[in-house]
Structure 1
């Protein structure tokens, strides 16, 4: 009888402990659920434009353009002249785009500034805007020359003096004195800031950031994805 009594008490004790554990487990699971929901909501607040699918409205008419302006497909690159990834994009993806789509008039290509790496990122962007204002055709020669002559990201290489040297070597009959004054006076700071604000409002992700007819390209180095998006847009003409 004594042994049976001990077993009965032990069973009651375990049942009582189990009854105590259940509320703790329920509370713990509820707390974890609340934390997960809070993290998800927090992520959405921090990235309000994540997975944004709508088309971004862009001021094409005020930007440097290469190719037929009336092309049905418009590609916009947001870049920083100090960005090594932008240099790699210019040397590889852009070259393919030019051969496959720009030169034959199917696509127009635009460049917009997003200077964020260093103080001379803005200086280079200012120089680009100044060259574009002087001679829209020669802008692209200067644009590509800046990437070709890009210095180390951690160094302040895009100085006024260096930018003037690149402009002189890559363009013809450009007014270098005027360019120098425009850089010094930051004549086109408003244009640079206007470009930057567009991507700030969209939700900056990095450079290069690429849009095809206002739709963001998930991976600007995936040429298959870019080509597929272009061809889809061409089919919708």
Structure 2
């Protein structure tokens, strides 16, 4: 599947998000291959949003789309257990990176960045809220609902509008997505990397628990 600029622009007009423009085409690559931890950890266009110490022995990096129901299920059911068991105790660092699969996901990612600015804790809270209210803002009036969420988080109407037409922010999200796709071979969400080892798709806490314990022992 190729998401072309023409298709993206058409989607913008259909979803009422005409303020957004310019997401680079995403060429999906089918083969999945593990990358080195250095490739995954390489600085990208946007600052990483992460919880847990930078020197933790295990780093989990999630690539997610804000419109992905499997990503929402992970955030609701699995992430709290990982946080309680491993992040809060300082054993792992958890990094969240945007990989929008459509225009609405890009808009949700932009809003989360605008609300949180450089506050990782606030960013994760906004992402959690967007996932919990996913059916509302994805299936209904996207712009109206995102504006309401933005206002609930303290943004004004003007700040939400400015956020959703921030071309520089959108370009950075697109550049990071392109790197993830072309270098790390991410082509679906959610995709996780545990110290550079790829895990594709929604996973149970038990699977994460097993892999994390193995890495902590090594």
Q: TM-score, normalised by structure 1?
A: 0.68
Match of 2:165 in 1: 184
Does residue 73 of structure 2 align to residue 88 of structure 1? Answer: yes
* Structure 1 residue ranges (4+ consecutive) displaced by more than 6 angstroms after TM superposition: none
CA contact (8 A) 1:85 1:207 kept: yes
Which of 150, 162, 173 aligns to 2:145? It is 162
Distance in 1 of aligned mates of 2:65 and 2:137: 11
SS of residue matched to 2:135: coil
TM-score normalized with structure 2 length: 0.73
Secondary structure of 2:72's aligned partner: helix
Instruction: After superposition, give the CA deviation of every residue in 1:198-223 in whole Å (9 maximum; x if it has no partner).
Output: 33113334211111111112554133
SS at match of 2:121: coil
CA distance in 2, matches of 1:174, 1:108: 29
Over the residues paired in the alignment, what is the CA RMSD in angstroms? 2.6
Q: Which residue of 2 aligns with 1:120?
A: 104
Measured after TM superposition, the shift of residue 121 of structure 1 is 1.4
Structure with higher RCO (Cα < 8 A, 6+ apart): 2
- Find the counterpart in structure 2 of residue 144 from structure 1: 128
- Establish whether residue 74 from structure 1 lines up as the match of residue 59 from structure 2: yes
Q: Which of 177, 184, 187 is the equivalent residue of 1:196?
A: 177
- Separation in 2 of the partners of 1:104 and 1:224? 18
Cα drift, residue 80 of structure 1: 0.9
Deviation at 1:82, TM superposition (A): 0.8
- Cα distance change of structure 1 residues 183 and 174 upon mapping to structure 2, 3 Å threshold: same
Once residues 171 and 53 of structure 2 are traced to their aligned partners in structure 1, the CA distance between those partners, rounded to angstroms, is 27
| Structure 2 Cα separation of the partners of residues 210 and 191 of structure 1 | 21
Equivalence map 1:17-28=2 (5 Å): none
Q: Give the drift of 1:226.
A: 1.5
Give 1:9-48 correspondences, 5 Å limit.
Answer: 47=30
Gap regions ≥5 residues in structure 2: 1-28
Q: Report the Cα offset of residue 53 of structure 1.
A: 3.7
Gaps of 5+ in 1: 1-45
Post-superposition offset of 1:181: 1.1
Check if 1:206 corresponds to 2:191: no
Count the aligned residue pairs: 185
Q: Take 2:216 and 2:129, find their aligned partners in 1: how far apart are those partners? A: 31
**Aligned-pair CA distance for 1:68:** 2.1
Q: Does 1:221 align with 2:203?
A: yes
- Higher fraction of strand: 2
Q: Is the 8 A contact 2:67 2:134 kept in 1?
A: yes
What's the secondary structure of 1:192's corresponding residue? helix
